[in-house]
Structure 1
Amino acid sequence: MLPVRQTKRVFYSAGVFTPARKRRRCVSSSISPAPETNTGPNLLDSIPDDLVVSILCKLASTSRCPADFISVSMTCKRLNTLATCPYVLSRLSRKAIAIKAQNWSESAHRFLKRSADAGSLEACYTLGMIRFYCLQNRGNGASLMAKAAINSHAPALYSLAVIQFNGSGGSKNDKDLRAGVALCARAAFLGHVDALRELGHCLQDGYGVPRNVSEGRRFLVQANARELAAVLSSGIEACSWLTLSQPQTHGCPLLSDFGCNVPAPETHPANRFLADWFALRGGDSPGDGLRLCSHGGCGRPEIRKHEFRRCSVCGVVNYCSRACQALDWKLRHKMDCAPAEQGAAGDGEGNVQIEGNVDGDNVPVVPMS
């Protein structure tokens, strides 16, 4: 038989019983309750807006890729509001707007548009190149590049010069050689290497300007000197490129006649975008019968057929400008160029003519600047 559990009962005089109440357990008064934790306001909220904007401007000007800037702006609502103000967007660096062609979207387009409206010259130039060559919005793209060029943006000045030399966006009769030379001269004054090289060849050949061989040669020497200075300032050890050996097919043999193989200059994000854009959409041909500039670091396509000049020795490569031809000659074409026929040849010193449009606009170019 199982034991019966006994419970305490309190009996009253009437014989009715009720369960007894449990005694309440008292807590000693000597033990005080735990105090409530108070974290206080967020530290970011205590920083003034002008100081946060100053930090964001520094970040915008030193970002190595768009993700560095965008990831910070998405941290919280306040940073997002301050990071998208015009003062911060106008400070965006070249690498901060280096959007890749495979990541192109409407949001990327809006980001560049908003940065360009805020006054970022790099955004104006990059978006102008994309709209002019990729999105086929010639007028708006040219106006964006002109906006950057007015504010002394050297790459924009040089790109407008290439458009004037080729008559891009129009017919051959729309070419304006004098305007192209003037834009090149302005970009060369600002130290743009390709503009220095282009202006040097124009002076040597009398293309759009009275011929002056000695002055043209001086500009070509300046272009080489600036390329060499850029390599030295980048921290690359001299032993990595100052090798007295046969020039390599890679890199940029700036002083290849003396056995020096200088690394190739860094490609502008806008040109890299163009090259990747057309590579993703059909390789070397941007359209029916159209060609890309054979210099891998350019990416510019033809707007009309036979717009670019081609090498009259091999007839294989074509270039949008003399600067691209001269640089590509030093990069790779010097090793690959061979006469298509026995009668086609240069001048015996590696100098190649770049053939113009189909009606015989031949322009001599000295590839070794």
Structure 2
Amino acid sequence: MLPVKKRKIFSRTDEKSDLFDGLPDDLIVFILCKLSSSASCPSDFINILLTCKRLNLLALHPLVLAKAGAKVFAVRAKSWSDSAHRFLKHCVNTGNVEACYSLGMIRFYCLQNRASGASLMAKAAITSHASALYSLAVIQFNGSGASKNDKDLKAGVALCARAAFLGHIDALRELGHCLQDGYGVRQNIAQGRRLLVEANARELASSLRSLTRGQQQRQQCYQRYTYVADSGCPLLSDFGCNVPAAEVHPVNEFLKDWFESRMGELGAGLRLCSHDGCGRPETRPHEFRRCSVCGLVNYCSRGCQALDWKLRHKVECVPVEP
């Protein structure tokens, strides 16, 4: 329980009376925790800080920062600064798991601080953060930040399996492809296909839930990607459905904007994952798998490759002339 400040109670006839001043701090902190966890963008939280000195002080309380949701940290790459970095570190110190994951991804891929980034993602993964588990799996599959010989396929499969168990759709899809191909695990084609169907079903359920969020949000979802004509949502065309694609995590949008806006240099011979919703860059030349037909696109994972094929690449892929 937070200490309650004693405040002067004004009479009704006092022109300076303010009901807000009479509210205890712990009640305001409780309300701010709810607001920070449900904020739809960073400005929602920033507006609280700018309201008054008291709200500015209480909004930076460790309990409030620990509850902040992923969208509070959805800073634009062009707006990245030392103050944004400090704010994320402050949230990490309060135990915010989303801050650990977001800052871990930014440090690992954008700031090229591999050890610190991987450590922060591992800190989030320990608390069963599904996206952090999947990101660490991708790092293990590719040997990111190290050499090709540092790939650990079994560790990648284990991390994917844990993330899939927690409901991460991309991890479930990746695990299905690993089982189909015998990549890092004993081949089991039937089980792999079953997991891919389950990933499709979960994606369908998630997309249908998003349809209840209102027409404006649905329109934003449709505009997020450029769809192949009459194909509907990627992978859901198997079910004959035409629903919005899943919402991209803010940190993936940050990665993509960071490199496309040239805030960070990729380096000679390095490329981004060609799936629009990913944003991961190569950490060494030829790290990602390339399309075996055209060789013009590359992907950080089998999941991204399958998703982008249905989304866009199947109508663009042209065999390389000998």
Residue 268 of structure 2 is aligned to residue 288 of structure 1: yes
TM alignment of 1:192-341, pairs within 5 A: 192-235=168-211, 248=229, 252-257=233-238, 259-281=240-262, 286-341=266-321
TM-score relative to the length of structure 2? 0.88
Question: What is the CA–CA distance in structure 1 between the aligned matches of 2:92 and 2:160, rounded to whole Å?
Answer: 23
Uncovered stretches (5+) of structure 1, i.e. residues with no partner: 1-36, 343-369
The 1:177–1:55 alpha-carbon spacing in structure 2 relative to 1, beyond 3 Å, is same
Question: What is the CA–CA distance in structure 1 between the aligned matches of 2:256 and 2:186, rounded to whole Å?
Answer: 34
Structure 1 contact 271–300 (Cα < 8 Å) conserved: yes
Question: What is the CA–CA distance in structure 1 between the aligned matches of 2:232 and 2:121, rounded to whole Å?
Answer: 29
Residue 96 of structure 2 is aligned to residue 120 of structure 1: yes
Report the residue type matching 2:68 in the other structure: L
Tell me by how many angstroms 1:259 deviates.
Answer: 4.8
TM alignment of 1:39-118, pairs within 5 A: 39-118=15-94
User: Hey, what does 1:32 align to over in structure 2?
Assistant: none
Tell me by how many angstroms 1:181 deviates.
Answer: 0.3
Tell me by how many angstroms 1:89 deviates.
Answer: 0.4
Alpha carbon RMSD of aligned pairs, Å?
A: 2.2
Report the residue type matching 1:66 in the other structure: P
Structure 1 contact 161–181 (Cα < 8 Å) conserved: yes
Structure 2 contact 164–172 (Cα < 8 Å) conserved: yes
SS in 2 for 1:274: helix
User: Hey, what does 2:219 align to over in structure 1?
Assistant: none
Structure 2 contact 178–185 (Cα < 8 Å) conserved: yes
User: Hey, what does 2:123 align to over in structure 1?
Assistant: 147
Tell me by how many angstroms 1:236 deviates.
Answer: 6.0
Structure 1 contact 247–256 (Cα < 8 Å) conserved: no
Uncovered stretches (5+) of structure 2, i.e. residues with no partner: 1-12, 214-221
Which of 158, 172, 177 aligns to 2:153? It is 177
User: Hey, what does 2:10 align to over in structure 1?
Assistant: none
SS in 1 for 2:135: helix
Report the residue type matching 2:75 in the other structure: I
Question: What is the CA–CA distance in structure 2 between the aligned matches of 1:123 and 1:187, rounded to whole Å?
Answer: 18
Tell me by how many angstroms 1:251 deviates.
Answer: 5.5
Structure 2 contact 233–241 (Cα < 8 Å) conserved: no
Report the residue type matching 1:106 in the other structure: D
Q: Tell me which of the two structures has the higher relative contact order, counting C-alpha pairs closer than 8 angstroms and 6 or more residues apart.
A: 2
Tell me by how many angstroms 1:73 deviates.
Answer: 1.9
SS in 1 for 2:268: coil
* 1:213-256 Cα distance to aligned partner (Å, 9 max, x none): 1111111011100110011111269xxx9xxxx96278624333
Same amino acid, percent of matched pairs: 70
Structure 2 contact 204–236 (Cα < 8 Å) conserved: no
Question: What is the CA–CA distance in structure 2 between the aligned matches of 1:100 and 1:251, rounded to whole Å?
Answer: 29
* 1:326-359 Cα distance to aligned partner (Å, 9 max, x none): 10001001111121136xxxxxxxxxxxxxxxxx
Structure 2 contact 63–94 (Cα < 8 Å) conserved: yes
Report the residue type matching 2:42 in the other structure: P
Which of 135, 138, 151 aligns to 2:111? It is 135
Structure 1 contact 90–119 (Cα < 8 Å) conserved: yes
Structure 2 contact 143–149 (Cα < 8 Å) conserved: yes
Report the residue type matching 1:274 in the other structure: L
Structure 2 contact 32–59 (Cα < 8 Å) conserved: yes
The 1:187–1:258 alpha-carbon spacing in structure 2 relative to 1, beyond 3 Å, is closer
Tell me by how many angstroms 1:258 deviates.
Answer: 5.9
Question: What is the CA–CA distance in structure 2 between the aligned matches of 1:282 and 1:124, rounded to whole Å?
Answer: 22
- Structure whose alpha-carbon radius of gyration is higher: 1
Which of 133, 140, 143 aligns to 1:167? It is 143
SS in 1 for 2:290: strand
Question: What is the CA–CA distance in structure 2 between the aligned matches of 1:132 and 1:282, rounded to whole Å?
Answer: 15
User: Hey, what does 2:5 align to over in structure 1?
Assistant: none
The 1:74–1:176 alpha-carbon spacing in structure 2 relative to 1, beyond 3 Å, is same
* 1:32-57 Cα distance to aligned partner (Å, 9 max, x none): xxxxx832443222100110001100
Report the residue type matching 2:45 in the other structure: F
Aligned length: 299
Q: Report the more deviating stretch, 155-164 or 273-282.
A: 273-282
